[in-house]
Structure 1
Amino acid sequence: MLSFQAVSSALPERVGRLYVAYSGGVDSHVLLHLCARQPDWQAKLCGVYVDHRLQAESTAWGTHCRRQCEALGVEFLLLTVDASAAPGESPEAAARRARYAALADLLDRDDVVLAAQHREDQLETVLLQLFRGAGVAGLAAMPRISPLGRGSLVRPLLKVGKAEVLVYARQQGLVWIEDPSNATNDFDRNFLRNQVLPLLKQRWPGLDKTVARSAELCGEAAECLDEWAEAQLAAVSGLDRGELAIDQLPVAASRRRLLIRQWLARNGLRPPSRAITEAILAQVVDARGDANPQLCYQGALIRRYRKRLVCVPAYPAVRTHGEVVWPDNAQQIELGGGCRLSKEVSVDGIAQALWDRASVTVRFRRGGEKLKLPGRGGRHSLKKLYQAAGTPPWEREWRPLIYLDGSLAAVAGLWVAEWVSGSKNEPCYRVSWQFRQSV
């Protein structure tokens, strides 16, 4: 019989708050019931119902979940999310994304979300990934434990069959919700569950166990590949770990593809399709030496510069032909699109005395700007300074320029003009330029 041991054995060593993703269905109800029966867990346990507002019954289901939690003596929390699908995104994927984003926001360090996916769910996921042409990472399907926000997502029932879940629910007299949409075959997972798997199980009754084992083996293989790829990335990364040295990439196409996928993941992007990986290699990595290729992927630009492959945000529309006033006493200003300028007290930079009595404005490059740097003879054009510093061309037009009383004083994050540079032991401001946009 299903026991609490299945749950406790899956948890990490340190556990703070425990949130059960509770839909009101039989799987999540069984998981919540198992946890609620542990006296030591009562104080840190919370059932969380996420209302996607996709069905008319969702409010009533939330009420049901609240009452069940009250009956079990468990804290209850209802979260409402916007599950609207992005272009090209399936309704299931949109709901899943919104749900996990809401759950992630709840977590502090060591907190855990418990999800009730079981062995048949894993079987469905593996087959769906297979039909989509996934590699070993995709065929590993759902991991038993994975990071979520500042905590963890744990699926303690992944090795438990659906039959065991139902036996437990009936023996305990549990009351659960039956989602009528599960009976329709409009969604791929429902079609697989209702039409395909019953036939497969007639021929191979233990299919859920064998496929779950395959998923576990794929997970181990994917972990080994990730470790290899991380070691290789360390060898081919530039001074900036977000770059790749193109001339140091391996010759073998399979290894190149693996490194590109790992590199994109390191830059916070979702795993690319085979077609995207091949396009990056053909259009950017292997482009002519005099070309300036770029490829847009998930809001990022994959570009090549000086034999380096770089991944940068697709800079938003923050430029203006006018100027932005830096308000008196403001520590930072927002230029829109996630672009922020900040000033902090420093031992070098723009002299505080000059800044505090000047009209400070921000502009973007128009062409022809010159700057005299401390300790260097003559004035230098920004074009030559950028070239000497190896500043990528696409960044030069977007890096903000700081003006004091209409005269160029600094290039944010790079240079300060001699005429405003603070002397030794003189309080100064250092200006930094940041993009807070995630890609």
Structure 2
Amino acid sequence: MQGERRKVKDSSLYEDFCGSIFKQLDLGGERQRFYIAYSGGVDSHVLLHCCASITHLKDKLTAVYVHHGLQAEAESWAKHCEKTAKDVGVEFLTLRVNANAAPGESPEEAARNARYAALKSLIKADDALLLAQHREDQLETVLLQLFRGSGLRGLSGMSERMAFGAGVMLRPLLNTPKQAISDYAHAHQLSWVEDPSNQSNDYDRNFLRNAVVPLLKQRWSAIDKTVARSAKHCADAQVLVDEVADELFGAVFNPVDKTLSISRLSEHHSHPQQLIVRHWFRHRGLKMPAQAKVERILNEVVAAAGHRDPVLSGQGYSIRRYRDKLYCLTNLSGTEPQDRVWPVGQASIKITDDRTLSCVPSSKGISRERWQDATVEVRFRRGGEKIRLPGREGHHSLKNLFQEAGIPPWERDAMPFIYLNDTLAAVGDLWISAAFYSEKTQDCISLSLQS
């Protein structure tokens, strides 16, 4: 009897399937465009079919197939998706991406990163990307995060709504059981593609889906629902943690140079320190560090004696300290800066792959006439350079000026020195030599160094 009641309940789910999920997320507002990530599989096909059945939504829809080029069937899948979108009267777009894995990147991660990067480029303000992930996908995600030793944020699983590109990403099926999606697909006699790689247990998610979850469901039949509830509890707790982290982080963070104050950080005990460091990484848009890496940052860099210069590197960044500041250095150029002549009439010059020096109109600075009449060269530190500054007596060594200004040692060798006719005229955008300094209104230039 209980089995019959459950069957009736499941079969009724698809009858008001579309109305309930879209009412829940209020998708009928003022959004300009809805892009559906459409792979051709049953889940995204159901989402597409459901969206296309909503009159006020249909004209705003575009189905998007991301062509990874990793399987021979990908081209035929793209054609299937295009035909399906046409059949339901929805616009269609194919995005081709390079999903080859970089060193240290798994094939799954490479494909996901390439897919999201391509989709993100589509989403403008007031646009939404719709994904067809459902409650069993949430179960798999939480289990994977659990097995990887994730904290609250990881155990929160996927969110129904999050910022994406200039718009938002929505998962309207996230609280929907897989069975309801299958029921809907069969009831509407939908035709979808099956990815053969989904049967390979070489991938962690497939192994969970094919081997582990079915076994768990034999014992706990409602595990997708209960784990989703636990994920929601974790997400709610994470909101509170974030509020605390925001307050702690704000008192330690220096927004000008994106550093942390070591003295203020050291006022806290271990747990708040770890929370602040993780919040820092998140603020910088970096991959969340493992617990061991956070502990090394605190023990080897933050706790180091002030005269030491420890460096902790990994995953495209380096953690260093200078005086009272903790630095996270990212995207550093791999090439040494080279001396070069500044081309005549050119407003800017590349110092390295990721740094540009520009001259801009100013009411004070270097006389425009002297700049235009001189041979301008950009050189780099050799040691022993001196400069006389406006309003100060005598010549000053650059070494002392760098120390006085608190310029970290690693930035000094990369600081461009600007010479006019073989005479030092300026140091980056920090100082201009008194011999070249002028305050002729609207007849000067200043220098701007940008990364």
Mapped partners of 2:203, 2:362: distance in 1: 58
Match of 1:297 in 2: 314
Would you say the 8 A contact 2:362–2:441 is kept in 1?
Answer: no
Would you say the 8 A contact 1:143–1:155 is kept in 2?
Answer: yes
Match of 2:241 in 1: 225
Q: Is residue 263 from structure 1 mapped to residue 284 from structure 2 by the alignment?
A: no
- After the TM superposition, which residues 323-402 of structure 1 pair with which residues of structure 2 at under 5 Å, given as runs? 323-402=339-418
Deviates more, 1:281-290 or 1:66-75: 281-290
AA aligned opposite 2:24: S
Would you say the 8 A contact 2:337–2:351 is kept in 1?
Answer: no
Mapped partners of 2:116, 2:73: distance in 1: 21
Please, which runs of 5 or more residues in structure 2 have no aligned partner? 1-13
1:109 to 122, 125, 146: 125
CA 1:401–1:14 in 2, change beyond 3 Å: closer, same or farther? farther
SS of residue matched to 1:112: strand
SS of residue matched to 1:4: helix
1:201 to 188, 210, 217: 217
AA aligned opposite 2:18: S
Match of 2:430 in 1: 414
Would you say the 8 A contact 1:301–1:314 is kept in 2?
Answer: no
Mapped partners of 2:372, 2:45: distance in 1: 62
SS of residue matched to 2:249: helix
AA aligned opposite 2:315: Q
AA aligned opposite 1:9: Q
TM-score by length of 1: 0.95
Mapped partners of 1:318, 1:182: distance in 2: 43
Would you say the 8 A contact 1:111–1:152 is kept in 2?
Answer: yes
Residue 112 of structure 1 deviates from its aligned partner by: 0.9
Deviates more, 1:351-360 or 1:117-126: 351-360
AA aligned opposite 1:349: G
Would you say the 8 A contact 1:318–1:335 is kept in 2?
Answer: no
CA 1:308–1:10 in 2, change beyond 3 Å: closer, same or farther? same
SS of residue matched to 2:425: strand
Residue 241 of structure 1 deviates from its aligned partner by: 6.0
SS of residue matched to 1:78: strand
SS of residue matched to 2:438: coil
Residue 317 of structure 1 deviates from its aligned partner by: 3.6
Match of 1:171 in 2: 187
CA 1:236–1:73 in 2, change beyond 3 Å: closer, same or farther? same
CA 1:399–1:195 in 2, change beyond 3 Å: closer, same or farther? same
Cα offsets for 1:74-93 (capped at 9, x unmatched): 11110111111122221111
SS of residue matched to 2:110: helix
2:330 to 313, 338, 352: 313
Match of 1:5 in 2: 20
Would you say the 8 A contact 2:201–2:210 is kept in 1?
Answer: yes
Residue 164 of structure 1 deviates from its aligned partner by: 0.7
Cα offsets for 1:57-102 (capped at 9, x unmatched): 0111001101111111111110111111122221111111110000
Would you say the 8 A contact 2:262–2:326 is kept in 1?
Answer: yes
CA 1:222–1:379 in 2, change beyond 3 Å: closer, same or farther? same
SS of residue matched to 1:109: coil
SS of residue matched to 1:106: coil
Residue 8 of structure 1 deviates from its aligned partner by: 4.5
Would you say the 8 A contact 2:335–2:352 is kept in 1?
Answer: yes
Mapped partners of 1:241, 1:370: distance in 2: 26
Match of 2:5 in 1: none
Residue 315 of structure 1 deviates from its aligned partner by: 3.0
AA aligned opposite 1:151: G
Q: Is residue 78 from structure 1 mapped to residue 94 from structure 2 by the alignment?
A: yes
AA aligned opposite 1:283: E
Mapped partners of 1:171, 1:356: distance in 2: 76
Residue 289 of structure 1 deviates from its aligned partner by: 2.6
Mapped partners of 2:102, 2:142: distance in 1: 24
Cα offsets for 1:288-322 (capped at 9, x unmatched): 2321111113322211111221112363244345x
Would you say the 8 A contact 1:7–1:157 is kept in 2?
Answer: no
Residue 426 of structure 1 deviates from its aligned partner by: 4.3
AA aligned opposite 2:293: I
Cα offsets for 1:9-37 (capped at 9, x unmatched): 32576522111000000100111111112
Cα offsets for 1:34-59 (capped at 9, x unmatched): 11122222332100000111111011
Mapped partners of 2:241, 2:257: distance in 1: 19
Mapped partners of 1:247, 1:423: distance in 2: 40
Mapped partners of 1:150, 1:238: distance in 2: 26
CA 1:5–1:327 in 2, change beyond 3 Å: closer, same or farther? farther
AA aligned opposite 2:329: V
AA aligned opposite 1:5: S
AA aligned opposite 1:223: V
Mapped partners of 1:116, 1:136: distance in 2: 24
Residue 410 of structure 1 deviates from its aligned partner by: 0.8
Mapped partners of 1:315, 1:65: distance in 2: 42
Please, which runs of 5 or more residues in structure 1 have no aligned partner? none
AA aligned opposite 1:222: Q
Mapped partners of 1:120, 1:238: distance in 2: 42
TM-score by length of 2: 0.93
Mapped partners of 1:239, 1:72: distance in 2: 50
Q: How many equivalent residue pairs?
A: 434
Residue 187 of structure 1 deviates from its aligned partner by: 0.7
